[in-house]
Each structure stands twice: as C-alpha cells, then as structure tokens.
Amino acid sequence: MPKNRSKINFKNVRDLPPMVMSLRSMAANPTGSWRNLRPVIAYKDCIQCMICWKFCPDAAIDIVDDRPVINLDFCKGCGICAEECPKKCIEMVKEGK
C-alpha cells in the first residue's frame, strides 16, 4: 500500500460520487472479520490448477510456492473457491472450528 495516502473529504452531498466506490486500494480494507465460513484446502488432494485463485472475487488467494494459500484477512467466506475446485479439495468450515 502506498505510504503517501490522502484523505478525500466531500464538502456536501452533491460532491459524493453517483455510486458506491472505494476511495482507496482494497488491500487497505481487510474484510475477513465478519466471515461465517472459511475455506480450508486439503493440500494432499490439490492439483495446483489455481482455479480457486482465478475465481476468487476478493483476490484473497495468494500463490505461495506454487500452491494456493487463502488470505483470511480478505476472504469473506463466499465459497466460490470450493464450488469451482475441480478436485473438491476445498472445504468450507464453520468459523471458530
């Protein structure tokens, strides 16, 4: 994240954008704290196809040493990775277990 960030202040309602938009990089907005389910990868079954990485809408999957790694700071628990996994090696587990 860039160190030189500036805050955007709107003077009144007319200055607001016409639709919702992020005023900074999503890398500065961790969103995983309200997740109910979290993905757990069974690496013994994973074929490193990276389909989970490709379909993750939050870019919460990093590739580390040629393996997908879920960044739980940004994962919202939507389950798209588990649904799209061709080997079904991603299980959605209730948070806290």
Q: Find the angle CA(66)-CA(44)-CA(89) to the nearest 5 degrees.
A: 90
Report the candidate in 88, 26, 66 with the shortest Cα–Cα distance to residue 79. Answer: 88
* Of 17-26, 31-40, 68-77, the least confident: 17-26
Q: Is the predicted pLDDT of residue 32 greater than 80, yes or no?
A: no
Residue scoring higher pLDDT (29 or 65):
65
**Domain chopping of the chain, boundaries:** 36-97
Provide the pLDDT for residue 1: 43
CATH number, domain 36-97: 3.30.70.20
